[in-house]
Structures are given as structure tokens and as C-alpha cells.
Structure 1
Amino acid sequence: MKDTQALKDFLDTPRKIVITTHANPDADALGSSLGLHHFLEGLGHEVKTIVPNSYPDFLEWMPGNSKVINYENNVEESNELLNTADLLFCLDFSGFARIKSMKEVASTVSAKIALVDHHLNPEITPEFDFWNDKAAATAELIFDLIEDYSGKNVITKEIAECLYAGVMTDTGSFKHNSTTSKVHRLVADLIDLGADVNKVSRLIYDTNSLDRLRFMGHALAEKLQVIEDSRVAYFVIEENDFNNFRLKQGDTEGLVNYALSIKGIVVAAIIIEREKEIKLSFRSIGDFAVNKFAEEHFSGGGHKNASGGMSELNLEETEKKFKELIESDILKTRSK
């Protein structure tokens, strides 16, 4: 990796390092952060991991979880750490808008910045650049960074399981077209280095609350909409659904994939109303680029077949806008 030696030179003496990732951290964001956290601590540095807000409780098993600082709950402490850091690692995001309330402080720190990310069109200009949009997950890039820096044999069981969680989830359990032969070789290395992949998979995918299962049944029976002519399926989840089913953060995770699993569907979406915000997630199969759709219409972006966005309209208006635009864009794609 091109900037590894420069990073090694900078870290030749003990440094104060802060690691952060995007708001609403997922398994790749948190797994990458904690995997890197353990590695840098092992090198003798003072390391703090700060996340913009909370994350799903099915990720709390990760080694080092107790060390993670929630910015929303610890603003003063977090700002002090950011302002006194020598190095800020930005993981799994490429624009400071993705870290919400942390943006103002993090974007103006005097610390050097290291960017480790695989999303398109990075907006951050780092001193140490480990951006690669060909990577399947940020966890893959952290593995590469550690291997290039010290050799993969320094990866402990704890690091291996954190990184495996990131790769597994960001590849859709190795179903996405980002799953290369390199990814499989990396996973084999992580298993050899101690990762209990059965345990990690079970903790992430098979640890449901009764409320979440009941909600999933309700969503599939009552909330799923299908536009057959356009081969589109989507869900609209209201604030009341969160209240009625006592949902926690992360309980809607993966729901959009059920829509995409319908035979013949090529684009799926979920529109969520939560805490006065309207968020959208998009998935696709084949050539339809949902990242471009999200960027052009919903102030978002991401990967070709998996992306997200947001809307300043109300829920009803957002659904109407989505339906009109997706049908129009799919029609244009077919006519090319």
C-alpha cells in the first residue's frame, strides 16, 4: 500500500491516535475500527475509538467494545481527544458529513489524517491515503494495511474476528459481486489466524429479539410494495412501526434484501421515517447503479449495487418521489 512506509515513519514514536467511523456504525465500520484499534495498541500507541452515535447491540460482542466512546454521550471528552490527537484515522467514510455532529471538530483538527475507505468519490484529503474503491470492505483494507505494516501473523484472534465481521457483512455473506478470489483468500487467512467464523455469523445474523421477528413478519405482510412492470420492490417503515414493535437501532437491517430476493426484482429499497429524518437504502442486481440514483435524487451515494440517501420531504412525498424517479430511470436504462 503506497503510504504504509510514510505511516510507519510517522508512528516510529508513541502517538495519540483517534479512530472514527461513520454515523450509525455497521459491522464493517465497527469491525474495522476495533481491528485497527487492537493493532495500534499492540504497537504501543495511545488509541481511542470514537463513534458518532450508538450502534446495534448485536455488534457489542466485538472485542474492545467496552473501549468505544459514543460521541453523543461524551461530547466534551471526545472533543478533547480529537483536539489533542496526533493522528486521526477516518474509516469507512470519505466525507466529514457522514459523521454528523462530529463533523465540525473532526474536520478542523490539527492532527494528521489517515483515510481508509472503499466508497466512491472521496472528499477528504489525507496525509496517509489507503482509499481503494475496488476493495469489498474497509475491513479488507485494514487487513492489507496490517499485513503490509507488520505481516499478517501479528493479527490476533480478536483482530481476525473483528475484520471477518466487516468482510462478511459488506459482501452480503459473500454474495455481492465484490466477493473476489482475494476476499476468499483473506477469509482463509483470518480463519487460520483464529477467527471463529461460525460464532461471528451467529452473533450477527442469528441473535434476534422477539420484537424484531414480529416486526419482520409485519413488514413482509403489510409493508412490502411491488411495482411489477418496473421490477422494483420496496418497504416504507413509519415512526409508529418503531414504537409499536419497540425496535432498536439495527432492527431494520437486512430487510431490504428480502425485497431484492423476490424473483424478477432488480431494484429494492427501504424508506424509513425515524426521529424526524427520512432515510433510504437501495439495493440492485445487475447493471442498474443505485449509487448514481441515490446521488442524483437523494443526496446520497455508495456502491453500484448498494447505496443510501436521505430526503427532506415527508414520508408520503418521499415515497411518491421515489416511485416516479425509479420507474423513469429504469425505463431510461432499458431504452439504452
Structure 2
Amino acid sequence: MNLESIKAVQQLLSQPQKIVIVPHKNPDGDAVGSTLALYHYLINRGQEAVVVAPNDYPKFLKWMPGNENILNFEKQNSQAKEKIAEATVVFTLDFNHLGRIGQMQSVLEDLTVPFVMIDHHQAPSDYAEIMYSDVSMTSTCEMVYNFIEFLGDVDKITSEMADCLYTGIMTDTGSFKFRSTTGRTHRVVADLIDKGAENTQIHHRVYDTNTPGRLHLLGCALKNMVIIDKYRTAYITLSQEELDTYEYQKGDTEGFVNYGLTLEGIIFAVIFIENKEEGIIKISFRSIGEFSVNEFARAYFEGGGHDNAAGGKSDRSLKETALYFESLLENYQDQLQA
């Protein structure tokens, strides 16, 4: 974050503001953790702030301090719109294009107040007056820690904020195993633990609260896995019928795509999940090494993200999507066999 942006934020926060904080649609641990941490920080500075999420998110994230104050735009529409209409500043976290917030997009586009973006994804759009964008960062939560540090307030990070920030860093780094994890990341995490983040308890709340249905769904997913040794690729399909059979709940498929990368020799893993309500196939891409799933998702599946983790979608059927995906692999033979 450059000095000009820091001064602009300081100027904004030097006066009382009505601030709306927005994560992306289907918020994950980093989105929920970063928005709640910023919410606590702004409230503690005497600002009026509220988090408005585009839609619901998994139960295993709802323990975080301040969760009860998040407005769900889908379920609390009139209240959420009222807060947005009153806003004098909008912070958008963990996304960089307003197309990532679903039905909220048109509402935010109508605002004429300053926007502040904090995000680590590639190819940001230019809707925000103040941008803190850094694709090298592990997570938006680590960026929020930096943001607070830039403002000279790192000593004001409370245990509640530390819990939220730790959660986002932990989940977005794959429990600190992804290559974006740096020594700086561990130093930030160490400071968060010193400030009260309950690291063992956080891990338990996020990863050790499975339902029988989720574990049975995982078994189904692994049974469906297709391994293409020639292209060092593995992919999983899950139909709507299979999701219904195992009483799917939001967040149940979180992390399933990573199982493909646990296979020796596999560097490209994908999961295709049928969503009949939206009429699409939701896709998650993961890779190891230099193969850019961000470029792959952008080129063929209306998606994007990071070099080693991205998302996308398809309007084809589940079977047709999988076959189309397989047909693309030959184009990347050299990269996948390198």
C-alpha cells in the first residue's frame, strides 16, 4: 500500500463515517475473517460499521466474533439495502470486481461514495478510489493485518480480531502449506497468537466439525475421481443428485478439490459440482508448481483467481463439462508433463 493511499485512508477515518464492509459471494474463511477483523477495528476506532455479505456461508465459519452482526443481503434484504444507502464509505474485501457480489452489484454500482479495495487476486478492476492490491499475498486477512499496521495501530489488534485474521490466513494458505506462505506470514501469525488467537481451537472449529453426510459425500467424491496420468491431472464430479443424497449443506465440498493433489505425480486437480438451482456447473481448480489455473479458468470457464487456485463455471451439463475439460488438456501437454 503506497503512502498516498495510506494518507487517503487516514483522511477518511479522521472523520465519523458510516462504513459498509463487503465480502464476495459465497464467502470463505478469508472473506469472513477479513471483513469481521476490519469491522472490529473500525468499531474500536469509533466508526459506525457493518458487514453486508451477499449471501450465506458455511456453519463452520459462524463462530467468529462479530458473526451475529453480519447482514445477509439475500435474507435481510431491506435492512442491508438501508445500510448500503446510508453508507459514506464502502470497503470491499477479498474480491476485485463487483461482478463477484451477485445481486449486490447493481446496488453498489449506484453509490457515489468512496470505495476502498483490499484484495490479493489478479487483474483488479478500477471501481475503487483507494486500492490495496497485492497478488503476492497469502490472503486478504494478512493484508488487513498490514493495513492496520500501515495506520500505526497494530498494537490495537484485539483477541477477537486476531481470531478472525488467523482463520483467514490459515484457510487461504491450506494450513500454511501453499507456496505463497512466507516468513512474514509466520511472523504475522505468531503475533496474532501472542495477541490472543486460539490457534488450536480455531483449527478444530474449522476442520473438525464434520457431519456424517459430509464425510459420506467425500467418499462419493473420491469414488468419482478420474485420474489422467498422461496429463498429471485428476478431477472429481458431483451431481446434484449425489449432493441431495448426502444432504449437502453450504461448505460441505470445501477442500475436496485438494485431494487430487495428494496423489503422487498429480499437479492439476479440479472439481465439477452441479448446481441445478443456478443452472451451472461450479468449478474449482488447483495446481502445484508453474501451471497457472488462473489463466486456464479465465480462458475457458469464465473464472480466475490465483496461479495455483482459481474458480470458474460452465453452462454445459456435468458430463459435457467434464468431456470438454478433458479435450482441453492436450493443449497444455508440454506444461503438464514438464
Could you say which TM-score interval applies, normalised by the shorter chain? over 0.9
Could you list the runs of 5+ residues in structure 2 that have no partner in the other structure? none
- Structure 1 contact 118–135 (Cα < 8 Å) conserved: yes
Could you give the per-residue CA deviations for residues 191-229 of structure 1, whole angstroms, max 9, x where no partner exists? 111111001111111110111111112221x21111111
- Structure 1 contact 115–124 (Cα < 8 Å) conserved: no
Q: Which moved more, 1:73-82 or 1:309-318?
A: 73-82
Could you give the per-residue CA deviations for residues 288-310 of structure 1, whole angstroms, max 9, x where no partner exists? 11100000000100100110101
The aligned residue for residue 130 of structure 1 is: 132
Q: Confirm whether residue 314 of structure 1 aligns to residue 317 of structure 2.
A: yes
Q: Aligned partners of 2:182 and 2:159: how far apart in 1?
A: 23
The aligned residue for residue 147 of structure 1 is: 149
Residue identity matched to 1:299: E
Could you list the runs of 5+ residues in structure 1 that have no partner in the other structure? none
Q: Aligned partners of 1:260 and 1:201: how far apart in 2?
A: 21
Residue identity matched to 1:147: E
Shift of 1:26: 0.2
Deviating beyond 4 angstroms after TM superposition, the runs of 4 or more aligned structure 1 residues are none
- Residue aligned with 1:130, SS: strand
Could you give the per-residue CA deviations for residues 92-111 of structure 1, whole angstroms, max 9, x where no partner exists? 00001100110101122122
- Structure 1 contact 233–269 (Cα < 8 Å) conserved: yes
* TM-score (norm. length: structure 1): 0.97
- Structure 2 contact 231–337 (Cα < 8 Å) conserved: no
- Structure 2 contact 280–316 (Cα < 8 Å) conserved: no
The aligned residue for residue 266 of structure 1 is: 267
Give the CA RMSD over aligned residues.
1.2
Q: Aligned partners of 2:126 and 2:172: how far apart in 1?
A: 22
* TM-score (norm. length: structure 2): 0.96
- Residue aligned with 1:150, SS: coil
Q: Confirm whether residue 227 of structure 1 aligns to residue 228 of structure 2.
A: yes
Q: Confirm whether residue 177 of structure 1 aligns to residue 179 of structure 2.
A: yes
Residue identity matched to 2:212: L
Q: Confirm whether residue 283 of structure 1 aligns to residue 286 of structure 2.
A: yes
The aligned residue for residue 304 of structure 2 is: 301
Q: 1:1-336 to 2 correspondence within 5 Å? A: 1-2=1-2, 3-220=5-222, 222-274=223-275, 275=277, 276-325=279-328, 327-333=329-335
Residue identity matched to 2:123: N
Q: Which moved more, 1:253-262 or 1:143-152?
A: 143-152
- Residue aligned with 1:94, SS: coil
Q: Aligned partners of 1:271 and 1:234: how far apart in 2?
A: 8
Q: Aligned partners of 1:203 and 1:271: how far apart in 2?
A: 26
Shift of 1:241: 1.4
Shift of 1:335: 8.2
Shift of 1:5: 1.9
- Residue aligned with 2:136, SS: coil
Q: Aligned partners of 2:126 and 2:281: how far apart in 1?
A: 26
Q: Aligned partners of 1:242 and 1:68: how far apart in 2?
A: 27
Shift of 1:332: 4.0
Aligned length: 334
Q: Aligned partners of 1:268 and 1:219: how far apart in 2?
A: 13
Shift of 1:334: 5.6
- Structure 1 contact 116–131 (Cα < 8 Å) conserved: yes
Identity among equivalent pairs (%): 42
